[in-house]
Amino acid sequence: MAQVAETSIGFGFDIHRLGDANKPLVVVGMRIPNATSGPIAHSDGDSAIHALIDSILGSIAEGDIGAHFPDSDPKYKNISSVFLLKETLRIFYRRGGHIQHIDMTVILDEPPLVKFRDHFRGYLAALCGLPKERISIKFKHTNGAYAMPVYAAQCAVLVSIMKER
Task: pLDDT tens for the chain, 165 residues: list them.
Answer: 556 678 999 999 999 999 999 999 999 999 999 898 999 999 999 999 999 999 999 999 999 999 999 999 999 999 999 999 999 999 999 999 999 999 999 999 999 999 999 999 999 999 999 999 999 999 999 988 877 777 899 999 999 999 877
Closest residue by Cα to residue 136 from 104, 161, 100, 98: 104
| Secondary element (H or E) of residue 31 | strand 30-31
Return the exposure string of 21-33: e unless at least 16 CB atoms fall within 10 Å of the residue's CB, then b: eebebbbbbbebe
Q: pTM value?
A: 0.94
Residue 73 phi, psi dihedral angles, 5° rounding: -95, 120
Domain ranges across the chain: 5-164
- CA dihedral (36, 42, 44, 47) in degrees, to 10, reads -80
The CATH H-level (homologous superfamily) assignment of domain 5-164 is 2-C-methyl-D-erythritol 2,4-cyclodiphosphate synthase (3.30.1330.50)
